[in-house]
């Protein structure tokens, strides 16, 4: 069974074609700068040897053309992996916001499309592009089943005390103002991998999954289900991120508007795109910030302290939520690659039974690794996330179960 995963953003489409029997990636890549100058596609063909990479700079005015280029590459005799697009049995689409309607992976039909469209006000920056990707894929892969995998779905198990805000009920009941949570596909994937690694059923496993990429969030997982998460109504709150502020007193927004005369779109851009590491240091990439820190840059030092302090604070809070924690899981670009961040986020948590081994933390090796010290009661794992594989697995499982019906 061949499954194609698609992640359609405002100016990009990421794709991977999986052979599901072996769970191997046949080809994959990225179409970027759609609708802009210098658009291009970076395509990789995986085989027994090192992957072959192809870069083509061609005008890609819209998503339709982008997906046509992808389809052509998939069947290209020299660079593709299939003879005909009809070999793609299903297309799994990453959809950022599923609201309260979708607590699971869902086969797409007209009703589902309508609901995703209705949810646009909740995710104006993401859902329109996800939707566009689905509509175009329906044309280009007409034989394939189209499936939506929602970033919010894993968090639909949050209890009301975790998902409601303390504002009049009307805003929730009429307008859907509540915590939704994001990065669900990644938290779900690493939590299942962690349970498997620990030799336990997901239903017996309590975890703190810490996803640190450009966006960052931490989730409390009880018995395999998300029970609290640091992002909220939008992906803005919680941990400090590459360009987002994370938690901030909403009164700062009133102050900026009333006392500083800033309009709401400017404040929105400030908190979502010009804050976090970028706002504090001038760079959003942790590698640059660590370099600056090594050279004695005081802003970089402060930003790193704030970043790791926030993670630690959430570890403490979610430890209290869960009561018993089997493992902490670090994942995504920063979580998988930064010993500095892992060390400082866990420093001083001995009282919670959490301590790292300096050597193991510095050189965790490949795959799933343990980095806690011998006296740590809680295991601390580094697990590479794979959102595309999780999407493909969920699609396989859904269409497998639909076959039996």
Residues near ligand ADP (CB under 6 A): 213-215, 242, 285-287, 332-334, 337-338
CA distance linking residue 265 with residue 285, whole number of Å: 24
Q: Please, which residue, 144 or 194, has the CB nearer to ligand ADP? A: 194
Q: What's the closest the beta carbon of residue 290 comes to ligand ADP, in angstroms?
A: 6
CB of 343 to ligand ADP, least distance (A): 12
Which of residues 92 and 242 has its CB atom nearest to ligand ADP in the complex?
Answer: 242
Separation between Cα atoms, residue 67 and residue 22, nearest integer Å: 25
Q: How far apart are CA 182 and CA 194, in angstroms?
A: 19
Length of the chain in residues, anyone?
Answer: 405
Give CA–CA dist 17/289, Å, rounded. Answer: 35
Q: Which is nearer to ligand ADP, 202 or 339 (CB)?
A: 339
Query: Tokens 């660079």 belong to which residue?
Result: 79
What is the token pair recorded at 54? 């192809």
The residue from 151, 228, 326, 386 that is catalytic is 151
Burial group, residue 35, by CB count within 10 angstroms (0-12, 13-18, 19+): middle
Residue 151 bears catalytic tag: yes
Please give the Cα distance from 186 to 153 (Å, whole number).
11
Residue closer to ligand ADP by CB (options 133, 242) is: 242
Residue nearest to ligand ADP (CB): 333
- CA distances from residue 33 to 56, 72, 73 in whole angstroms, order as listed: 12, 18, 18
Q: What is the DSSP string of 330-375?
A: EEHHHHHH-HHHHHHHHTT-GGGT--B-HHHHH---SSSEE-B-TT
In the complex, minimum distance from the CB of residue 342 to ligand ADP, in angstroms, rounded to a whole number: 10
The rounded radius of gyration (Å) of the Cα atoms in the chain is 22
Shortest separation between residue 196's beta carbon and ligand ADP, angstroms: 22
Contact between residue 3 and residue 399 where contact means Cβ atoms under 8 Å apart = no
Q: Smaller CB distance to ligand ADP: residue 11 or 214? A: 214
DSSP state of 250: T
Three-state DSSP class for residue 173 = helix
Q: Does the CA dihedral 376-211-234-290 come out positive or negative?
A: positive
- Minimum separation from the CB atom of position 42 to ligand ADP (A): 15
CB of 367 to ligand ADP, least distance (A): 16
Q: How far is the CB of 58 from ligand ADP (least distance, A)?
A: 24
**Nearest residue to 333 (alpha-carbon basis) of 210, 189, 226:** 210
Burial pattern 160-198, b for ≥16 Cβ within 10 A else e, equals eebbeeeeeeeebeeeebbbbbbbbbbbbbbbbbbbebb
Please give the positions annotated as active site. 151
């Amino acid at each position: 069974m061949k499954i194609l995963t698609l992640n359609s953003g405002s100016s990009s489409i990421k794709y991977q074609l999986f052979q599901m029997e072996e769970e191997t990636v046949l080809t994959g890549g990225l179409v970027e700068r759609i609708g802009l100058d210098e658009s291009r596609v970076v395509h990789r063909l995986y085989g027994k040897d090192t992957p072959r990479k192809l870069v083509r700079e061609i005008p890609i005015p819209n998503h339709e053309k982008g997906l046509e280029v992808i389809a052509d590459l998939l069947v290209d005799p020299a660079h593709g992996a299939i003879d005909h697009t009809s070999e793609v049995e299903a297309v799994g689409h990453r959809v950022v916001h599923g609201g309260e309607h979708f607590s699971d992976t869902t086969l797409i039909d007209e009703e589902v499309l309508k609901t995703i469209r209705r949810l646009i006000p909740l995710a104006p920056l993401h859902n329109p592009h996800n939707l566009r990707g689905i509509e175009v894929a329906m044309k280009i892969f007409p034989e394939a089943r189209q499936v939506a995998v929602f970033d919010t779905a894993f968090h639909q198990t949050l209890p009301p005390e975790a998902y409601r805000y303390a504002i009049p009920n009307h805003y929730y009941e009429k307008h859907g103002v509540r915590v939704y949570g994001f990065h669900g596909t990644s938290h779900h994937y690493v939590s299942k991998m962690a349970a498997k690694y620990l030799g336990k059923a997901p239903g017996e496993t309590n975890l703190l999954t810490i996803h640190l990429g450009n966006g960052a969030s931490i989730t409390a997982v009880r018995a395999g289900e998300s029970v609290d998460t640091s992002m909220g109504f939008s992906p803005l709150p919680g941990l400090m991120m590459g360009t987002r502020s994370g938690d901030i007193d909403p009164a700062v927004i009133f102050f900026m508007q009333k006392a500083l005369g800033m309009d709401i779109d400017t404040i929105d851009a400030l908190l979502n795109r010009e804050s976090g590491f970028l706002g504090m240091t001038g760079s959003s990439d942790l590698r640059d910030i660590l370099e600056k820190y090594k050279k004695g840059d005081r802003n970089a030092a402060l930003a790193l302290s704030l970043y790791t302090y926030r993670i630690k604070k959430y570890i403490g809070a979610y430890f209290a939520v869960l009561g018993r924690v089997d493992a902490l899981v670090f994942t995504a670009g920063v979580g998988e690659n930064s010993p500095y961040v892992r060390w400082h986020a866990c420093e001083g948590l001995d009282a919670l039974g959490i301590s790292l081994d300096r050597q193991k933390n510095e050189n965790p090796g490949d795959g799933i690794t343990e980095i806690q010290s011998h006296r740590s009661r809680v295991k601390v794992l580094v697990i590479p996330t794979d959102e595309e594989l999780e999407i493909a697995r969920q699609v396989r499982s859904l269409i497998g179960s639909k076959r039996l019906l």
